[in-house]
Amino acid sequence: MKSIVIHAAHDLRIEEHAVKTPGAGEAQISLATGGICGSDLHYYNHGGFGAIRLKEPMVLGHEVSGHVTALGKGVTGLNLGQLVAISPSRPCNTCMYCLEGKQNQCLNMRFYGSAMPFPHVQGAFQQVLVAQASQCVPADGLTAGEAAMAEPLAVCLHAARQAGELLGKSVLVTGCGPIGVLAILAARRAGAARIVATDLSDFTLDLAHKLGADQVINMANDANGLAPFTQNKGTFDVLFECSGAVPALTAGIHAMRPGGIIVQLGLGGDMSLPMMAITAKELELRGSFRFHSEFATGVGLMQRGLIDVKPLITQTLPMDQAVEAFELASDRSKAMKAQIAFAD
């Protein structure tokens, strides 16, 4: 079978790997679709992000779906040929954090396509993938592309949980890539009354507006675009910071009202903070890292038509055009979510 492997920045290769058979409690999946995530792009464009660097070749990918082709001993609840969304989250379920119900903080996490540990955790961009049955969520009624969006949606559902009560709240979203736009969808589903979104690209902002943002601001064209929201100590109850960029975070903080909550999703390395503003406004800063139980919740929301991710899928290219897909996904003037089709 073929896999998509990153060796160094801009050194992406399609390589042959052996097909594995499922063991007890596992399922073999014929991969259908994989979405290119921001972390995949960091590995492709920069060889890593922050202190996390590639130290050996690594199969990329963690936003995937496929069809069940074989089941290991003892597996129930899955059927041959069934479309499943595959969670990349594989906690140990025995460490102190797993036992506290914080599986996203697992001390022994094996998250697909991660260079955090060494040896690296190989990713899911493989034509045939063997996964734990517990990772596989039936996605009946969805397209393979929609099912592959369960992972980024889960990230945003977890962020919404971190934010707490959103009913009737005024929300600011900074950064309108896939995570930012999905955060808009999640906040609206949770009852946010007003959502304003900022970015540097008209392409992404147009989609953010179509999918639920009440107002969008291109900060590249108007660096003071949030100034009206800073009146009377600020406007927004909640900030979802999805860019990982210091200017976006700083501008967002100044537009927050006292007692507001900042949820940091964007990963851009270490960031400096305007601590005086945070202190004087008595703001709460909350991190949001990955997800766990929210993965199945996201699949269910899509199946019931409560969240529609289809408009985010802007391109789907075949596996043999993987390099072109990564280049396209890197162009925020053309792509929101670029996906790769693994099936012939």
pLDDT reading at 73 higher than 90: yes
pLDDT reading at 50 higher than 90: no
Q: Which residues contact 261 (CB under 8 A, 6 or more apart)?
A: 163, 164, 237, 238, 239, 283, 284, 286
- 171 within a domain of the structure (yes/no): yes
Tell me the C-alpha distance between 212 and 204, whole Å: 13
- 264 within a domain of the structure (yes/no): yes
pLDDT confidence of residue 267: 80
- 301 within a domain of the structure (yes/no): no
pLDDT reading at 106 higher than 80: yes
More confident residue, 50 or 316: 316
pLDDT confidence of residue 344: 63
- 65 within a domain of the structure (yes/no): yes
Tell me the C-alpha distance between 243 and 195, whole Å: 16
pLDDT, averaged across the chain: 96
Tell me the C-alpha distance between 10 and 46, whole Å: 8
Which of 146, 135, 175 minimizes the C-alpha distance to 263?
175
Question: 283 and 314: one domain?
Answer: no
- 70 within a domain of the structure (yes/no): yes
Q: What is the identity of the amino acid at 115? A: A
- The residue-averaged pLDDT of 127-146 equals 97
Tell me the C-alpha distance between 323 and 10, whole Å: 9
- The residue-averaged pLDDT of 37-63 equals 93
Question: 13 and 110: one domain?
Answer: yes
Question: 267 and 239: one domain?
Answer: yes
- 272 within a domain of the structure (yes/no): yes
pLDDT reading at 2 higher than 80: yes
Question: 126 and 161: one domain?
Answer: no
Q: Taking the CB of residue 285, how many other CB atoms lie within 10 A of it?
A: 15
Question: 277 and 325: one domain?
Answer: no
Question: 8 and 130: one domain?
Answer: yes
Q: Taking the CB of residue 195, how many other CB atoms lie within 10 A of it?
A: 26
Domain with residue 254: its CATH number is 3.40.50.720
Count of domains for the chain: 2
Q: What is the pLDDT of residues 274-324, one digit of tens each?
A: 999 999 999 999 999 999 999 999 999 999 999 999 999 999 999 999 999
Question: 129 and 216: one domain?
Answer: no
Domain with residue 80: its CATH number is 3.90.180.10
Question: 144 and 273: one domain?
Answer: no
C-alpha dist (Å) from residue 154 to 25, 57, 178, 226, 271:
24, 27, 12, 28, 24
Tell me the C-alpha distance between 135 and 272, whole Å: 36
Question: 212 and 276: one domain?
Answer: yes
For residue 223, give its domain range. Answer: 154-287
pLDDT confidence of residue 51: 83
pLDDT confidence of residue 303: 98
pLDDT reading at 25 higher than 70: yes
- The residue-averaged pLDDT of 96-119 equals 95
Which of 88, 71, 87, 72 minimizes the C-alpha distance to 122?
88
More confident residue, 231 or 271: 231
pLDDT reading at 270 higher than 80: no
Q: What is the pLDDT of residues 157-212, one digit of tens each?
A: 999 999 999 999 999 999 999 999 999 999 999 999 999 999 999 999 999 999 99
Question: 145 and 20: one domain?
Answer: yes
Question: 88 and 34: one domain?
Answer: yes
Q: What is the pLDDT of residues 205-241, one digit of tens each?
A: 999 999 999 999 999 999 999 999 999 999 999 999 9
pLDDT confidence of residue 49: 85
- 296 within a domain of the structure (yes/no): no
- The residue-averaged pLDDT of 99-124 equals 95
Q: Is residue 62 within 8 Å of residue 112, measured between CB atoms? A: yes
**Which residue shows structure tokens 């210091």?**
246
Whether the upstream peptide bond of residue 119 has omega within 30° of 0, thus cis, is: yes
Within the chain, strands assigned E span 2-8, 11-16, 26-35, 48-49, 52-53, 58-59, 63-71, 83-86, 128-132, 136-138, 170-174, 194-199, 215-218, 236-241, 256-264, 284-287, 313-318, 337-341
pLDDT band for 266, please (50, 70, 90 cuts).
confident
Question: 166 and 128: one domain?
Answer: no
Q: Is residue 157 within 8 Å of residue 294, measured between CB atoms? A: yes
Tell me the whole-structure pTM to 2 decimals: 0.95
Tell me the C-alpha distance between 224 and 209, whole Å: 19
Q: Is residue 265 within 8 Å of residue 240, measured between CB atoms? A: yes
C-alpha dist (Å) from residue 89 to 82, 195, 282, 300, 321:
20, 30, 34, 17, 27
- 303 within a domain of the structure (yes/no): no
